[in-house]
Structures are given as structure tokens and as C-alpha cells.
Amino acid sequence: FFLGGHDTVDFPIKFTPKHAGCYHCQILLKSSYDIRLYEIECVVNADQADAQLEFLTPAYQTVTQEIPITNVSSEDWRFEAVLEGQCFYGPPVINVPVGETVQYPLTFKPVAEC
């Protein structure tokens, strides 16, 4: 576009996503002198939330907590789990397909009273 000596123009866009994910958009601008197609991709991340789990179990007894992981994005997810602390166990990798919820089994297996 040529706008009376200006080489830029503001084009405000308001985007209000309801969920985390990847959003694609095309904007077609036409004038009698030019046609332009802009492709926009917006990636929305969910708010990070701190979580705390408390495991209460009799001494030497194992307890497992299923942690749901829901994929509301448009791409499959692959997570690598890094567990810190003694006596915690879980799969090192978990895959969550688009639109599904997968349970991550976090296990606490105490070897002494603590």
C-alpha cells in the first residue's frame, strides 16, 4: 500500500483465545493497486501453575498418584519427565495426543520412615 507518503499503517488486531494452543489466521488486504495476504500464527501457552502433592502412606508402603495431563493444543505432545528426590518413580517419557488426557503415574516408594 502507498498511503500518501507513509510507508506504514497501524492495523490493530484483537485476539482473545479461550484455550492454549496454536491459532492460524489469514488476512487479505485489497486495494485498486495491490493485493496482500498475511498469514499470522499465534501460539498461546497456558498459565504456569505451581502444584504440590502430599503423599501419606504407612512406612515402607508404595503409593501412586495419577496426574492428568490434557492436551488442548493442535499438536501431539511428548514430555520427558525428570524426577528429583529420593523414592519417586515414573515413566521417563509420556506422549499426549491432541485432544486427549493421559495419566502420569507418579509413585512414591519409601525405603524408610521419613
Determine, yes or no, domain membership for 78: yes
Q: Half-sphere exposure of residue 7, counting CA atoms within 13 Å on the CB side?
A: 0
Determine, yes or no, domain membership for 113: no
Q: What pTM was computed for the model?
A: 0.55
First to last CA, the chain: 70
Determine, yes or no, domain membership for 96: yes
Rounded to whole angstroms, how far apart are CA atoms 112 and 59? 7
DSSP 112: S
Determine, yes or no, domain membership for 77: yes
Each residue's pLDDT, cut to its tens digit, for the chain (114 residues) gives: 445 556 677 778 888 888 778 888 898 989 888 898 888 888 887 776 666 777 777 878 888 999 999 888 888 999 898 888 888 899 999 999 999 999 999 998 887 776
Determine, yes or no, domain membership for 75: yes
Determine, yes or no, domain membership for 70: yes
Q: What is the pLDDT of residues 46-78, one digit of tens each?
A: 776 666 777 777 878 888 999 999 888 888 999
Determine, yes or no, domain membership for 100: yes
